Each structure stands twice: as structure tokens, then as C-alpha cells.
Structure 1
Amino acid sequence: MSTPTFLSRGTAPDQNVPTLSIIVPMFNEEEVLPVLFERLGQFLDQLGESHEIICVNDGSTDATARILAAAHERDDRIKVLNFSRNFGKEIALTAGLDAAAGEAVVPIDADLQDPPELIETFLEKWREGFDVVYAVRRHRDSDTAMKRWTARKFYQVINRLSGVPIPANTGDFRLMDRRVVQAVGQLREHNRFMKGLFAWVGFRHTEVAYDRPERAAGQTKFNYWRLWNFALDGITGFSTVPLRIAGYVGMLTALAAIIYGVFLISRTLVYGVDVPGYASLMVAVLLIGGLQLVVLGVIGEYLGRLYAEAQKRPLYIVESSLGFEPLDGHSS
């Protein structure tokens, strides 16, 4: 894949290529969309850069699709991809990256917790020569104590296990140069942890600190169960250490069993036949059985991901689109 080279960032050689592509994945965001388009539109008009807004409707069941169609009618720079069903935010973000044509691409949340005004600072850093400019939260005071603790532990664990450092307290809100987007576009695995993929491709990057506001409207779609699965995707997608740990646990358990077996044989030879207690027998059986199930569970997580990749299904299916031709899902 060839990478276009621009003489100066922010000046596209092709008038049809916008400087900036904004990607907005969304699922059932009817309450916040009017506020989003008003605030984002005002900011982008004041910014004065050529731009497009790519809205990825991830199988919404409310009035999101209708509101997006009306927004496109008012402004053809607002483009829409409607998925055939809900594929998840990571896949919706991938579809937006596939469709983006701008020299610089910025994913942003529909709930306006990613302040659009920060994009101006992103552009300044980009024109200084940085390929990736990502936003880092100064603090997490708005989160619950449990969420702050789990977030801190997650970043500690994944950065110890993974060979790719992932900045803490970052989300998908960032600016990426066109060549970074093209590099990420070559990564087509199904279980996607986008923050990890953004870090994996490398390039020159810097951070911008910001304070994350409350949602402008509506309710968050994430809960602790979804966050747990999200963390699991991140760890298994960027490290095989859990498999190694499972192997070590198995070896240590087998070694302990051998030592205990030698002990029992030696005691029988010295003191004669002894009837073991029921309680100790049950403890040993349950311990070994539990460890086996844990190890099998870890192996199963990786096997499940291999199975998904072997099926070679498309990442997503676009049911309809506004502003460009429908995109086919990718499987490689």
C-alpha cells in the first residue's frame, strides 16, 4: 500500500480531499445528536479547515438513523454509515477509519465527553510534525472509586504483560496522520482493542492533557461486564503471558503432586498401609480440578480468538450509507 506524501500538513493537493475527518461511532444516541451537531458544526466552521464528519450508526434501534439522515440533508459534509446490526464500538471505529479520506483523522465520542475544541490543539501539534496526538485525562474525579481503581490496575497489568506500552487514561480521542490510519487499516483482527492497535503501529506521538466533562445527554452504554470483556480483549490481544502463566501453574501443580506422591509412598513403606482421610482427598481433588478449569479457560480464550480469525468473516456489514458508496467489511 503506497502512502501519499504531502508537502505541508493541512494543505491537501487534491481539492476533494479534506484536511480533517471526524469519526463519530454511535449506538442509540438520539438524545445527544442535536447538541453534538450544533456544537461540532460551530467549532469546525470557526476552525476554517476543510472537513468531513463520518457518523457510524452501529445498529441503533432508536431514532438515530433518522436524525443522521436529516443532518446529512442539511450538510453533505456529514456522511453516514448504517450497520446491518450492532457490531460494537471498536468495529464501528474501524469502519470510520476505513471510510475516512482526510489528511488527519480524529475519532470522537458522540456524548461530547471528548471536547471538540481540543481538536485545534491537536492540529497545532500535528503541524509541528507529530503523527499521533492523543488526549490524556488529567484526573478521573467524575468516576466512581471502583472504576478509578480498576482502570489504574488495568493499565498496570496490560503494560506489564504487553510489549507495547499503552498510555494510561487515554481513550480513542486523538488525531492521526493519514499514514497512521493506513497502517492501522492493515490490522484486520476481529477481536479489536483499538487503543492497543494505535500504540502498536508506532510513529511519532505526543499527548495533550484535558478535563473530561460529563455526558451532554443520554446514558452510557458501558457497564462493568462490558468493561471486563473489553479489558480481556486488550490483554489477550497483546500478550501471551496468561498462557505462559497457565503453563507454569500446571507445571508447579504437577511437581507438587509428584512430591506428595513420593511422600505417601515413603510413608507407606516405613509405617505400613494408612487409610487417607476423606477431607484431605476431597481438597486435593477440588484443587486440582479447579486449577485445570482455570488453565482450560485461559486456553479457551485464545482458541476462541483463533476460531474467529479462521472463519474469515467480514468485520462489519454496511446496510446503507449517505455521502459515499457502501463499504464492504474486511476480513484480512
Structure 2
Amino acid sequence: MPENPKYSFVVPAYNEEKNITLLYERIISLMNHYKDSWEIIFINDGSIDKTIEVLHKLAEKDKNVKYINLSRNFGHQAALSAGLKFASGEAVISMDCDLQDPPEVIQQMIEKWHKGNHIVYARRQNFRKDNIIKRLGSKIYYRIMGKFTRIDIPKNVGDFRLADKKVLAEINQMPEHSRYLRGMVAWTGFKHDFVDYKRPDRQKGESNYTLGKLAKLGMDGVFNFSMLPLRIGFLLGLISTISGFGLLLYQIFDVLINGVYYHLYKWLVVILFIFMGFMFMLFWIIGEYIGKIYDDVRQRPLYVISEMKNFE
């Protein structure tokens, strides 16, 4: 570890004109305690407000502020990946722009990094005031990921973390287009630790992570790091088959023992619908995996950059 390491802050931004300057000032206040060099890399992910204008003014005033302007909205994980690729620090701190990832926590993260941890996660100790659907979905998601994934993805952490350049070197060479950085970072297996904190409410603006985006992120995590969907398809197929044979045997038993007559077509229709439902679900699961393979085979870039500022 260098005596005076460089720190990189990587911050995706989508319609965050009201929060960028506030975050910048709080990071400046934090880094005034260190003699080390640093940079802040903002990634404008196709914002439709004045985000890029605010970033341009900051970058003109402070050469430590750099920005990547994407040609359109490519999504949070793609934008974050762009920033990680161009980060030059020995330690890279990724965080959101909404001030719900408080910069003051970073000091503790840096201390734990200096103790030999390659990854330091910021772990939430409280939960946001989300609606019941989001909270329930989050609990179900973490339970599924904890039991059925092939790696140990920490609970109650987002993309607020510190990772050193050894970790980033592995992340940046991963080719997949369907990015789930929480899982990718955990997959590297490097020594890690946690800093617990209470997440504050968003101060300005509205959350850009809709329920649909959260669902997509969760699905990317499940499909990229778990064989659970395929196993569910097999389990449902097995249940459908056993149920079909069970109904058929029950009917035969009732006819032979009790003399009750059943129209066979009634049972055939039920069994047919069971198998049709199973087949449609299985096709959907297979389609998800094929779609992800197709995305990688096309080899399209993960994002398109229209402008970069203050990069050497």
C-alpha cells in the first residue's frame, strides 16, 4: 500500500442537479483531513435536467472533479461500470449522488482498508421509508440470494463501498453485459470488512430507482449468480407430473373401488393446463438465460461516452 495513496470517488448521477454540489462540498470537507491526492468521477447517465451543466461548472473550477457524459441513459450499473473503468486511485469509493450514502462514513472505510481489507462495505442498519412492496421484495430477494447463490453476497449493502485497485482490476476485465456489481465484487473473494451506518433520507429530488428498476436489478442478481430458476423449473415440472399422475390414479381408484364414473376429459383438461403452465414458465426461464447469452455474444459496448472532462 502506498504511503500517500490516491482516492477515487465514483458517483453515477441521473437527474441529480440539486445534490451534486452538496455532495462535492461534503467530500471536499472529508478530504481536507488527508494529505493524499484524490479525484471525483461523476457519470452523467443521460440526465434530462441540468446535471451536465452543474458538472461542467464544477470541473472548470476544480480539476480534481472529472465527469463522463454518457450519450443516453444506460442504467445505474452501466454508469457505475464506466466510472470504475476510468478510476485511477489505489482505493475506489463508489457511492450514490443522493446523499443517502453519507461521505462521513468513508473515513471509517479508509481506516479498515489500511488494516488490510481489499473491500470495505457500508452496511445499512436501518431501512428506508419505502412502501411495503419494496420492503417485502427486498426481504424475499436477500433470502433467495443467501440460500441459493453460489457466492456469499453480503446483506443490506448496496453499491456504497471501498474497493482497492486489485479488486477493480478483476471487475474491469469481467466481460458480461448484464452487470450486477454487488455480486461481481463479492465473487472476487478478496478479504473484506463492514462499516455499519444509518442511512439518512434523501434530502432533495426524488429517487430514480423505480420498482421496475429494482426488480430488474434483483433479477440480474438471481440469474447471474444462481441456478435457482432452472431448479424451480425442474421442481415445478416434477410437481406437475406427480400431481397429474396422482389425479389419474385417484380417478381410477374411485372408478374401480367405488364405482364412481368420471368424464376422462375433465381430468385431461386439468392436467393439460398444468403442463401448459409449466412449459410456459420453463420457456421463460430458458429465454432469460438465452437473452443474457445473446447480449454477451453481440459484443455491443456496455455504454457509449459522448464527452469526458479533466481526464489526462
Fold shared, TM-score > 0.5 on shorter chain: yes
Give the deviation of 1:261 after TM superposition: 5.4
- 2-side partners of 1:138 and 1:10: how far apart? 33
- 2-side partners of 1:238 and 1:51: how far apart? 33
1:41 aligns with 2:28: yes
For the residue of structure 1 that corresponds to 2:103, the secondary structure is coil
AA aligned to 1:150 is: G
What corresponds to 1:114 in structure 2? 101
Give the deviation of 1:127 after TM superposition: 0.8
| Of 239-248 and 89-98, the range deviating more from structure 2 | 239-248
Give the deviation of 1:265 after TM superposition: 7.5
What corresponds to 2:148 in structure 1? 161
- 1-side partners of 2:33 and 2:51: how far apart? 26
What corresponds to 2:308 in structure 1? 321
Q: Is the 8 A contact 2:251 2:262 kept in 1?
A: no
Go from structure 1 to structure 2 and tell me whether the alpha carbon gap of 1:259 and 1:147 turns closer, same or farther (over 3 Å shift). closer
1:11 aligns with 2:4: yes
Which one of 226, 238, 242 corresponds to residue 225 of structure 2? 238
Which one of 279, 283, 302 corresponds to residue 296 of structure 1? 283
1:179 aligns with 2:172: no
Give the deviation of 1:71 after TM superposition: 0.6
Go from structure 1 to structure 2 and tell me whether the alpha carbon gap of 1:136 and 1:270 turns closer, same or farther (over 3 Å shift). closer
Give the deviation of 1:43 after TM superposition: 2.1
Give the deviation of 1:249 after TM superposition: 2.1
Give the deviation of 1:145 after TM superposition: 4.0
Go from structure 1 to structure 2 and tell me whether the alpha carbon gap of 1:10 and 1:21 turns closer, same or farther (over 3 Å shift). farther
What corresponds to 1:248 in structure 2? 235
Output aligned runs, 1:46-125, within 5 Å: 46-125=33-112
- 2-side partners of 1:294 and 1:79: how far apart? 46
Q: Is the 8 A contact 1:122 1:175 kept in 2?
A: yes
Go from structure 1 to structure 2 and tell me whether the alpha carbon gap of 1:269 and 1:213 turns closer, same or farther (over 3 Å shift). closer
Give the deviation of 1:290 after TM superposition: 1.6
Give the deviation of 1:39 after TM superposition: 1.9
* Structure 1: segments with no counterpart, 5+ residues: 1-7, 13-18, 326-332
What corresponds to 1:190 in structure 2? 177
Go from structure 1 to structure 2 and tell me whether the alpha carbon gap of 1:46 and 1:292 turns closer, same or farther (over 3 Å shift). same
Go from structure 1 to structure 2 and tell me whether the alpha carbon gap of 1:269 and 1:278 turns closer, same or farther (over 3 Å shift). closer
- 2-side partners of 1:102 and 1:149: how far apart? 38
Q: Is the 8 A contact 1:246 1:295 kept in 2?
A: yes
Give the deviation of 1:141 after TM superposition: 5.5
* Structure 2: segments with no counterpart, 5+ residues: none
The RMSD of aligned alpha carbons is 2.4
Deviations 1:19-64 (A, max 9, x none): 1000000111112122122222222223332100001111111111
- 2-side partners of 1:62 and 1:278: how far apart? 61
What corresponds to 1:22 in structure 2? 9
- 2-side partners of 1:147 and 1:242: how far apart? 21
What corresponds to 1:150 in structure 2? 137
- 1-side partners of 2:231 and 2:282: how far apart? 10
For the residue of structure 2 that corresponds to 1:47, the secondary structure is coil
For the residue of structure 2 that corresponds to 1:46, the secondary structure is coil
Give the deviation of 1:227 after TM superposition: 1.2
> Under a length normalisation based on structure 2, what TM-score does the superposition of the two structures give?
0.92
Give the deviation of 1:301 after TM superposition: 1.1
AA aligned to 1:47 is: Y
Q: Is the 8 A contact 1:35 1:216 kept in 2?
A: no
Deviations 1:169-202 (A, max 9, x none): 1011111111011111121211111110110001
Give the deviation of 1:257 after TM superposition: 3.6
AA aligned to 1:303 is: I
> Under a length normalisation based on structure 1, what TM-score does the superposition of the two structures give?
0.86
Go from structure 1 to structure 2 and tell me whether the alpha carbon gap of 1:141 and 1:304 turns closer, same or farther (over 3 Å shift). closer
1:131 aligns with 2:118: yes
AA aligned to 2:88 is: A
For the residue of structure 2 that corresponds to 1:117, the secondary structure is helix
- 2-side partners of 1:144 and 1:269: how far apart? 55
